[in-house]
Every structure is written in structure tokens, then in C-alpha cells.
Structure 1
């Protein structure tokens, strides 16, 4: 598929929230962009599993607090289904850094979006998530995951990287990703072309079965590749 084809590809979206008014508002925003299309809606986690399993969307916008099955468990179940490997979840949250967001990342979500985000931010988030990009600047992503690690017991597995079959260079790139470096910064640090770094990123995503940069950072920490800072992470 050419770059032009990829850019013109329609991105399918499923909306999950127990408030119908919010779902309709999100649907209206998404409909304003010709590259995006809502293919399903759900009012709780149980319904979400059914709708996502049937429509197999590219992106799911997932609320957290819902009846029957909350968004955290629904995210975990969706992200554990091999047939939905291309589906990425964005958690909708009222707060930028709460425990729900941290757990959502651990459960496989690609990022989060505040419910009061502007329409342009929503559309950009869907497109970036579909393209396997993080919704955060690399340095912010690292601090976000560190804040999670500060509050959760870690069970690191130093031998985990070996099970992924990473090359020495891929391990090096992964370590720099976990330190918060962008692709351009990694290229400069390793004296590589940005295109080469992107190739390594693609290989890392494939080998670790990570959906995006956020999941790569978590994999690096779980493998003990990067040690969190000893100073506490403070959020304003």
C-alpha cells in the first residue's frame, strides 16, 4: 500500500460510553472528518465487547466508569484478543493522571483523552493512535509510566527481552524509547537515519506484540531495561 493510499484510508471507530448524549456528540465530531467513520456504539463494557468483536474497528474510544463491565476490564479483554490486534483503545477520562489511566495503559490502551478535549484534538488523537503514535510527547509518556511504577509493585523479568528475540541494536533503541527520546533524537544519538530508526520501531512493535510506543515503554520497564528515577514524580 502506498503512502497516499494509507493517508486516504478510512479509520473506523467505535464509541463506548454510558451517556448517549456524549456518544452522539463524539459521533458528530468524528463525522466532520471524511477520513473517520463511526461503525458502532456501546453503552457499557459488555456491549462494547460484542460491538468491537463484530465491527473490528481501528480505534475504540472507551469510557472508564460504566455499568456491568467497566472500561478497564473491557480494554483488557479487547487487547487480549489476537483477532483484534489492529484495534487500538483510547481511554476517555475526566482527569489527566489518575489511577484509572495508569491501569488502562497496563491493560493495553494506547493512551487517553480528556472528555473536554477540543474537536480538533479528538480527531488528531484518533488519527495518531491509528498510526501507532503515542498521544503524549515522548518525555511526558515516560514520566506518566514512571508515576504508575511509583505506585505499583514491579515484577521485572530481565530475561524477557531474550524471549522477544531482539537484536543488540533493537534493544538499544528500545532503551532510548523508554528514556523518552523521540525518533529524531534516537537517530542523532545512534548516528542513524530517521528512516532506519522507524524501521527498528516497526520491528520492535512486531516482536514485542506492542500496539504502540506506550506499550513499548512498559515492556522496557518490565524487562528491567530502564530503572525509574529515584526522585518522586510530581504532577501539578
Structure 2
């Protein structure tokens, strides 16, 4: 049973929990779409291109989480395969797009509504931490660029832990780095499968950031649709 009175440490996911990955990613992919003149290469509809890209990216990230793809394959193939969907077989352009995306996306600063205010509130009461599967060269830059770094005592990435969520090892590494006990810690994230099951399996409590107000078919005790709701829990 969830008991917020027992919580001494709060851990956050980053992408689509604090940093608005969906909005920021779309901005960069649209910029990339025109900077690489994809309409001139026969891809006329950005929305369809972005839909394909999202599907390919999600598939590859799932493969990465479970060890079927490595980091470089994800970065490259999400663009190569999307281009191939539209009849473009060009490894060089895909490689350039992959580098463009990494270099540009980390500069964007759009956070989820209520992120700063909620962190300011929680930071007065608890040590805060991040656990993220994102790439080191992107995540640390994003955290600093958005002005989030001063809120967090520790930041655990998949690369530093040599493990990806939902594997319990990354959660155990984060707990050890934070000098925290699992039964006194809570994790807040947007993915039921990656964040929720992983945190619960590691013995932590979990709050599902269900920002799309999806049906709670997973049976999580606590879910929120806006970060500001955390101020009523803690």
C-alpha cells in the first residue's frame, strides 16, 4: 500500500515527466524535415513523416531497453528506416540527420506544465533524484540547459548504471548513489511498463504521471495527470 508519509527520497523520470519530450522532439524533427529538404526529396507530408518516425523510434527504443539494439543503432536506424519507408535508401543522409537531431534537441527547454513550481515545492521537503534511460550526452545537457540541475542530488543514467529501465539494477544503482532505501523512496514516471513495473520490482513506491489521462488498467494506487498534483500528495 502506498504510504507517502514514509517517503524520504523522491526520484523522477526525465523525458515526458519533466522535460516535454513529445513537444520538443516534434519541433526538432520538423526543423530537420525542412533543413534536409525532404519535400524536395519526395516526402511532402510532414505529419505522416513524423508519425512514421515516432513509430520507428518507439520500436527501436524498446529493442534498446531489452538489449536487442545498441545506442548507435537506435540513433541511426530511427532515421534510416523512416526514410526507407518513403523510398529513400541513403545511409549518409540518415547519419547526418541522426547527428543533427542529437545536437539540436538537447537545446530545447520546453518542460511539462507545473514542473518548476512542483520541484521548488518538493525540493524544500525531500532530496530529489533522476533516473533516466536517455543518452548521457543529451540528458545532462538538457538538465542543465533547462535549469533543473540544482534541484537534484543525484542523476542516474542507463549508461552510468550499465542497465536500462525497467531492469531493477538501474533503480538499485540510483538508490545506492542516493544513499536511500527502496521502501523509503518513490519514483514518478510516465511509462507504466518501463517506470512503473521497474520501480515496483525494485521495492520502491510509484506514482504514474498519466498526463494523457489513459485508463488505469495497470492498477497503480496513485496516478496524476498534472505535476502540480504532487503537491497534494506530499
TM-score (normalised: structure 2): 0.34
TM-score (normalised: structure 1): 0.34
Higher relative contact order (CA 8 A, sep 6+): 2
